[in-house]
Structure 1
Amino acid sequence: MELLQILERYAPFNEQEVRDRAVLMGLLRTGQNLWTRENEAAHLTASAWVVNGDRERVLMAHHNIYDSWSWLGGHADGERDLLAVAMREVREESGLARVAPVSEALFSLEILTVDGHEKRGRYVPSHLHLNLTYLLEADEHELLAVKPDENSAVAWFGREEAVEASSEPWFRARVYSKLNAKLARL
């Protein structure tokens, strides 16, 4: 299914999702390439809210660039299956071998601002991440491993502890708390 169709069928959770979905759909309709980082103003990313089997714990990574505990995810880089992107990124960033979708349906969406920063010795200008989030499940007892070029630690947190672990106020209030609220409704 095309991304525009997925977004048309998606039922937004709150006003943030209503408004971000409208902007994202508008950008997709322009025909510009949003699938790669060649679009330095805005591009598609996929993130994961990774939970354990009883959905009481969340996997977070301590992100090097943002110096904060955060969800896992990354750039589409041309891949059109954003669920596959989220799953790939979780495996790469956590060392987990087994991760599975709780559902293949889109769990959340957000437009995220990214401040300019250095990455691998090169300046990356400020831009937007047009982010789709998927709910994934993994075994909390499986061995974790850091990805040194992206994170310095990977750990499981209680749902509320995961929110509090982040040092980014906007993410705590607008993203992670929302994901937990949606999770509580399942």
Structure 2
Amino acid sequence: MNLKLQIENYKPYNAQEMKDQEVILKYMDTFDNLLVRDNEFAHFTASAWLVNQNHTKVLMAYHNIYNSWSWVGGHADGEEDLLKVAIKEAKEETGLSLVKPVSEEIYSIEILGVPAHEKRGKHVATHVHLNVTYLLEADENELTKVKPDENSAIQWMGLEEAIEKSTEPEMKVVYKKLNEKLNVYSQL
């Protein structure tokens, strides 16, 4: 199923997701280059809410650019299969080799504002990420390793601890939503 169809068929969890879904679909009708960073205003990213097998912990990385504990993920860079991107990024950023989707369905969507910053010696202008999140699972006993150009620590945390340790107020809201959805998902 193509990405636009997946987003059209996605059932929003709350008002934020409903509005973001509407805006993402408008952007998809307006721009033909949202899968690449050439679109300096908005482009697709894929994130992973990477939980342990009991769904009681989440693996967070200390993100060097944002100086905050953060989920893992990255840019689509031309790849329409955002689940594939989320899995690849989760493995690259944590050193884990055994990462699998709990479901191949989209877990969450959000439009995330990205402030201007320096990356690899170049200025990156303020822009937005059209983010698609997937619920992934890994063995918390597998050895992790940092990816020095992106993060400086990797740690399994309790679900609430992950929210508390994030220093980005807007991301605390996203992580809280992801945990709420996990509780609902676990009861199914």
Bucket of the pairwise TM-score, normalised by the shorter protein = over 0.9
Separation in 2, partners of 1:57, 1:118: 31
Q: Deviations over 1:63-90 (max 9, x none)?
A: 0000000000000000110000000000
How big is the shift at 1:30? 1.8
Separation in 2, partners of 1:150, 1:53: 25
How big is the shift at 1:7? 1.2
TM-score of the pair, normalised by structure 1: 0.98
TM-score of the pair, normalised by structure 2: 0.97
Q: Find out whether 1:19 has 2:19 as its counterpart.
A: yes
- Could you tell me which runs of 5 or more consecutive residues in structure 1 were left unpaired when the two chains were aligned: none
Q: State the match for 1:183 in structure 2.
A: 182
SS of corresponding position for 1:132: strand
Separation in 2, partners of 1:100, 1:71: 16
SS of corresponding position for 1:185: helix
Paired residue type of 1:119: K
Q: State the match for 1:74 in structure 2.
A: 74
Paired residue type of 2:5: Q
Q: Deviations over 1:86-107 (max 9, x none)?
A: 0000000000011000000000
Q: State the match for 2:129 in structure 1.
A: 129
Q: State the match for 2:100 in structure 1.
A: 100
Alignment of 1:146-165 (within 5 A): 146-165=146-165
How big is the shift at 1:32? 2.2
Paired residue type of 1:45: T
SS of corresponding position for 1:28: helix
SS of corresponding position for 1:90: helix
Q: Deviations over 1:116-171 (max 9, x none)?
A: 10000000101000000000000000000000000000010001001111001111
Q: State the match for 1:39 in structure 2.
A: 39
Moved more, 2-11 or 66-75: 2-11
SS of corresponding position for 1:43: strand
- Could you tell me which runs of 5 or more consecutive residues in structure 2 were left unpaired when the two chains were aligned: none
**Moved segments of 4+, more than 3 Å:** none
Once superposed, what is the RMSD of the aligned Cα atoms?
Answer: 0.6
Paired residue type of 2:33: N
How big is the shift at 1:31? 4.0
Paired residue type of 1:160: E
Separation in 1, partners of 2:138, 2:98: 6
